[in-house]
Amino acid sequence: MEFPKEFISKLVQDNTHDCNVIEVYCTDLKGESKVKKLVIVSKSTCGTKFGCILINSDNYPLINNTHHLRSLQLTASVTKYPDFLEYNSYFDCSDIKQRTIEEIEEILQKEPKRMIGKIDINDHKLICDALKSNKTLSAKIKKLFNLE
């Protein structure tokens, strides 16, 4: 069932904000499509993009091989988020994924059920603090998403 674009646009504007979790499809290194959970962290200063992070099922110790990189993997507990986690996972604060508001609207237009939950404000603050301390993110990106 498809909803009118205006309805979804208003729904996204009213309800898609910091802390929401949305399922998206990503291509892995093998070229295979995977379902990932995307957490909206912040809206851009220009108002056209969301700054997001992924939730990973593993903290990938071979990739996150320094103390700093490991510190950017924050625990996401299944007991705290049973509505959208099947097992303990990690908020990956090593990078900000930029998604346009139009892209999120399009996803939710086709499949509204892909908005699967919200993280709490305390975890949101921890994520923002980790992103602010992330030495690999440029000052420009941090400024764009109010993470200075």
pLDDT tens digits, residue range 47-95?
Answer: 999 999 999 987 676 666 677 888 899 999 999 999 999 999 999 999 9
Residue range of the domain that includes 43: 5-143
d(CA 135, CA 126): 16
Beta bridge partners of 100: 49
Q: Is position 61 within any domain?
A: yes
CB-based contact 85:104 (threshold 8 Å): no
In 27-137, which residue ranges form alpha helices assigned H by DSSP? 67-71, 101-110, 121-133
Quote the number of domains for the chain: 1
pTM of the model: 0.86
Q: Is position 148 within any domain?
A: no
For residue 77, the one-letter residue type is S
CB-based contact 37:22 (threshold 8 Å): yes
| Predicted confidence (pLDDT) at residue 15 exceeds the cutoff of 70 | no
